[in-house]
Every structure is written in structure tokens, then in C-alpha cells.
Amino acid sequence: MSDAPVTRQEGREKGDPYELETPIPAPVLALVAAMVAFGMAYILAAAPDQRPELGDQRTLADLAAAPGAKAGAAKADGAAIYAARCAACHQASGLGLPGVFPPLAGSEWVNGKPELLASILLHGVQGRITVKGLAFDGVMPAFKDQLDDESLAAVASYARAQWGNAGAPIPAGTVASVREKTASRDTPWQGDAELAAVK
Ligand code: HEC
């Protein structure tokens, strides 16, 4: 600013804007610092990671019994295996898809001899197969390399107890003996033609 006399016109003008210097007030800074320090001291003093009563209270035994627990713990769950491995084709209803995937509900193959069902599950089927009087000609995958005896027995037993089926459960031992007897086989059963012999 110069000391030249202010004219009337100049006197009417507002002063030029200028930036105020407004630092964070010291009391606010002190308060924030105090809160941070308190928080750190509190966490260190309370040591929440060293108090077992705040942790996961489940014991090993609880976890082993939990549904879906991994290998070795619980028995194989036929319903879960069916949902994961079979339902995509044979449907959750067990009715299959007409003309494409044969039904398991009321199927003579499912409710027949345990060895027959075990054979089908272990090696799969292809070619013409008649189910409840209707012909199917598709490919059923083999499960011998994907499911162990216990899992196959569980899913077979599940299928024999669902959708109005009334076959007796199949023990894992039956699957094991069929697996052994047919060990040399590396192609699927050729539908009716070949399975009739097992039937
Ligand atoms: C990729 C589709 C597919 C999957 C997955 C599948 N199947 Fe099949 N399944 C078929 C087809 C197709 C046939 C008929 C094969 C043929 O026409 O020769 C069949 C036939 C069968 C048969 C004999 C015919 C009947 O309807 O009774 C049984 C039993 C059977 N499957 C059970 C199972 C079980 C149990 C599973 C799961 C572990 C399973 N399948 C998984 C497609 C599938």
C-alpha cells in the first residue's frame, strides 16, 4: 500500500481479498494427539489378541463333526455327492431329462442288484440303455477315478433311498469288490447289451 491520499472513489472500494492464516487450533491438535495416544495405550494394555475368551470357542471335536468337514472326519454324504456329481444330468428330482438323461427315480438299474449299480457308477455307460421302458443313448461318465468306494457307496445308497426308490443301502465293501473284479476294465459298459449280463 502506498501512502498516496485515498480518493473518494478509492474509499468506496472494498479491500483486496487476502488469505487468512488459520492453522489447526492447538487445543484441537492436543485433543487428537491425546485420543490417539489413549487408543494405542488402551489396545496395548487390553491385549485383545491374548485373551482366549474373545477367540473362536470351537474345539477340534466340534470341527470334526461339522457338516462338510474335510476328509476322514465324517462319513461320506450321499446327498452332497449327488448334488455335486450327478444332479447336473439326472436332476435333483432324480427324473433326468426326457430323451437325454435317464431317470434314477423308479429305475430298475438303481433299485436292482447292488453290484449292477456299483458297476455302472464305477465305469459309466454308453450306447443304448433302456430305463423304465424308454431307450436312451448317451454317455454316462465313469467315477472310478473320482470317487472312492465309500463315496460311491454313499451316493448309490442315497439314490436307492430317494424319489420313492426302495433299494437297500449299498455297503462300501460291495463297491470295493466290484471295483476289484472289474479292475481290468477301462471302457464304459456298452448299454443294455453288456449290462444285461450283470443284471
Ligand atoms: C454327464 C452327465 C451324467 C452324470 C454327471 C451322471 N450321469 Fe448317470 N447317466 C447319464 C447318461 C447319459 C446315462 C445313460 C447312458 C446311456 O445312454 O448309455 C446315465 C445312466 C445312469 C444310470 C443307469 C440308467 C438309470 O437311469 O438308472 C445310473 C444308475 C446312473 N446314471 C447314475 C448316476 C449317478 C449316481 C451319478 C453321480 C454319481 C451319475 N449317474 C452321473 C449321464 C450322467
Q: Please report, in tens digits, the pLDDT of each residue of the chain (199 residues total).
A: 567 788 888 888 888 888 888 888 999 999 999 999 999 999 999 887 787 788 888 888 777 766 655 554 457 888 999 999 999 999 999 999 988 999 999 999 999 899 999 999 999 999 899 999 889 999 999 999 989 999 999 999 999 999 999 889 999 999 999 999 888 888 898 888 888 777 7
> Exposed (0-12), middle (13-18) or buried (19+): which is 86, by Cβ within 10 Å?
buried
- Of 167, 35, 147, 39, nearest to 105 by C-alpha is 167
Cα of 194 vs centre of ligand 1, distance in Å, is 16
Nearest CA to ligand 1 atom 7: 140
Gap between the Cα atoms of 111 and 105, Å rounded: 9
C-alpha cell at 72: 476322514
**With contact defined as beta carbons under 8 Å apart, do 136 and 102 qualify?**
yes
The pLDDT of residue 1 is 54
CA-107 nearest atom, ligand 1: 27
CA angle 128–184–157, rounded 5-degree value: 60
Phi-psi region of 132 (alpha: psi -120 to 50; beta: other; left: phi over 0): left
- Which ligand 1 atom lies nearest to the CA of residue 96? 26
CA distances from 5 to 11, 13, 31 (A): 10, 14, 49
* pLDDT (0 to 100) of residue 74: 53
- Burial environment of residue 89 by CB neighbours within 10 A (0 to 12, 13 to 18, 19 or more): middle
Pocket of ligand 1 (CB under 6 A): 85-86, 88-90, 101-104, 107, 109-110, 117, 120-121, 125-127, 129, 131, 136-141, 143, 155, 159, 191
Q: Which of 140, 149, 165 to mutate to test the pocket of ligand 1 (most atoms within 8 A of CB)?
A: 140
- Nearest ligand 1 atom, CA 191: 18
Span from the CA of 60 to the centroid of ligand 1 (angstroms): 38
pLDDT of residue 29: 95
- Side chain identity, residue 164: G
Is-contact 174 118, C-beta < 8 A?
yes
For residue 50, the model assigns a pLDDT of 80
Residue 73 has what pLDDT? 46
Please report the pLDDT score of residue 66 as a whole number.
Answer: 60
Atom of ligand 1 nearest to the CA of 137: 17
d(C-alpha 159, C-alpha 166), whole Å: 9
CA 158 to chain centre: 19
Residue of 130, 107, 120, 109 whose CA lies nearest to 189? 120
